[in-house]
Structure 1
């Protein structure tokens, strides 16, 4: 890794198989999909079912959310950071020789979304920042694709004796951070320049669509992990599901998921790493590999208070999402107006309480052979 921020790389791993799904036909302005069904789920371990709040039985709109998307996007001075701009959003200005292209914006609106996501994921893990059995005294830790740096900041606070490094391709992290934390601009898809066998723990979270060659990334992580040290990768599935049949195969939310899978493939990357991260981490050489699966509800339809709160955070995060806007219009596949109509329809669907939707998240961790293992799978 070079000493700066890393996030993405070469060609889709021994490459996860590509999805054959094609983009949705862009909806026309005013097209209403509210009548479509949905499903049930939760933040519980993957085999269990999420119970529906009986008060939601006949509700069509989630009143827990206001009508206003309330987002203040602070523009970043181009004289300081030469970002690309599409339709009012800023994006990383990639250089093919030094950094990779990334689909997501890097502006204040996106940063707010990432911080909401961090809070949601921490809630899902019962307040934990990680699941790997790294012990009480990690000395050197790397957070790959750190984003706003919020996870790295919390980790550095929890382990003040550890040296923590957060890397990313965009400098969107705060300057006021714990003294044991530093941020570096670096592209994780390039050759790593960190010392081999140097990190006790390497953390990866939500890099779907960011990496071209996942096999290469895992090899670099393996190389730079100390014997006995751990990798941990938390990833989400973008496929919306239901347990009660409220989301059928032709439901708008399901088709949206397939459209995003297709879009990522057009960029030479994948949104489907959730399906392959355990296998790839094992192939990279890590042992004692453990996968924990979670169901995450979309909306406040679950009866369980924790699941209800989790679902509320999920909706707050998804409502801010315009993942296709810049790139798709840039590629001239859809017009800006068509995309906005599509996004408006999606927002209606996630607020429809008859849609008991959920998606999956997994946490995969593994140990590099050697060293002293205190592995316990609880």
Structure 2
């Protein structure tokens, strides 16, 4: 694993080339879920409309799959790092998105029952037989049986949760004693070690505006720096945090990080409109034209090889305390 304190060497010759009960009125519920909302040319979820800022259309799905690939590269091909049992039985993936992580996990562990939940039913219909997806809002009280999962996985939930203490308590309550919860988050603030993310630059503005939008939305976008403390406060034990610097662009000299950075630049190109359009137009009252001008400046910076920006990534996992052994001797 890379040391978060270490600087990434710059390549001067770089040429960036989601088990609960179903509602009785299934028809009306399905209609509410599938009646997607369209704004500014992008498609958004209808279930719990407005509770999540990101689109659920194909363009954003492609971006989410790119992100999955980036995380696989960052984790050396691993889907998780928590020391879970070799034969997990009941696994929950929160905010499953396109379902790609849950599909890969179910393929890798065919004996496990895997459940993925999300606000949108955008996952494929052809999935491993040990996997199912449900439309659910994990910020509402969980309807699963307590202590029913031995592994709960969450990824990139920044801007999704208003009260993290409630969320982590639900996760802890629904894990079996000794089970693990793991969360991977990514920073929305571009940084540089060599000062090339200049004060007042569009990349610095992106970070500041993004954090401000999270505050206005009432759901922090700084989860990357808050998740470890959240697990500690909830009562998890054996907490471990890994952190990486994720380059934006192919500027590193290291071949592995150059490749990761090249994918991440594509990730940004594909994702930035969806990341900010809803929040800027609804919370800051920017016009679509103003957002597009803003995005054009960000894209220009993404292609500037003199800017050696990176994001920080955190992966935190913690264990639910095992059930105390009885002191009673038979």
Instruction: Say whether the 8 Å CA contact 2:245–2:311 is kept in structure 1.
Output: yes
Partner residue in 1 for 2:278: 326
1:258: how far off?
0.8
Instruction: Say whether the 8 Å CA contact 2:32–2:47 is kept in structure 1.
Output: no
1:80: how far off?
8.5
Partner residue in 1 for 2:13: 55
The secondary structure found in structure 2 opposite 1:104 is coil
**Residue deviations 1:237-275 (CA, integer Å, cap 9, x gap):** 111111111112322101111101111211111101111
Partners in 1 of 2:89 and 2:50 — Cα distance?
30
The secondary structure found in structure 1 opposite 2:80 is coil
1:93: how far off?
1.8
Structure 1 residues 195-214: aligned runs within 5 Å: 195-214=145-164
Partners in 1 of 2:288 and 2:173 — Cα distance?
43
Q: Which has the higher contact order (CA 8 A, sep 6+)?
A: 1
Instruction: Say whether the 8 Å CA contact 2:213–2:283 is kept in structure 1.
Output: no
Partner residue in 2 for 1:46: 4
Q: TM-score, normalised to structure 2's length?
A: 0.90
1:371: how far off?
5.2
* Long gaps (5+) in structure 1: 1-42, 57-61, 65-77, 373-378
Partner residue in 2 for 1:273: 223
Aligned residues: 309
The secondary structure found in structure 1 opposite 2:81 is coil
Q: TM-score, normalised to structure 1's length?
A: 0.79
Partners in 1 of 2:3 and 2:47 — Cα distance?
38
Partner residue in 2 for 1:88: 41
Partner residue in 2 for 1:150: 100
Question: Which of 104, 108, 130 is the matching residue for 2:58?
Answer: 108
Instruction: Say whether the 8 Å CA contact 2:217–2:283 is kept in structure 1.
Output: no
Is 1:251 matched up with 2:195? no
Partners in 2 of 1:205 and 1:332 — Cα distance?
27
Partner residue in 2 for 1:119: 69
Cα–Cα, structure 1 residues 276 and 326, in superposed 2: closer, same or farther, change >3 Å? closer
The secondary structure found in structure 2 opposite 1:370 is coil
Question: Which of 309, 312, 323 is the matching residue for 1:357?
Answer: 309
**Residue deviations 1:82-106 (CA, integer Å, cap 9, x gap):** 11111110111244xxx76100000
Structure 1 residues 1-378: aligned runs within 5 Å: 44-56=2-14, 63-64=16-17, 81-95=34-48, 101-321=51-271, 322=273, 323-331=275-283, 333-370=285-322
Instruction: Say whether the 8 Å CA contact 1:100–1:189 is kept in structure 2.
Output: no
The secondary structure found in structure 2 opposite 1:320 is helix
* Long gaps (5+) in structure 2: 18-30, 325-330
Partners in 2 of 1:182 and 1:309 — Cα distance?
33
Which stretch has the larger CA shift, 43-52 or 253-262? 43-52
Cα–Cα, structure 1 residues 332 and 255, in superposed 2: closer, same or farther, change >3 Å? closer
Partners in 2 of 1:169 and 1:326 — Cα distance?
16
Query: Counting helix residues as a fraction of each chain, which structure ranks higher?
Result: 2
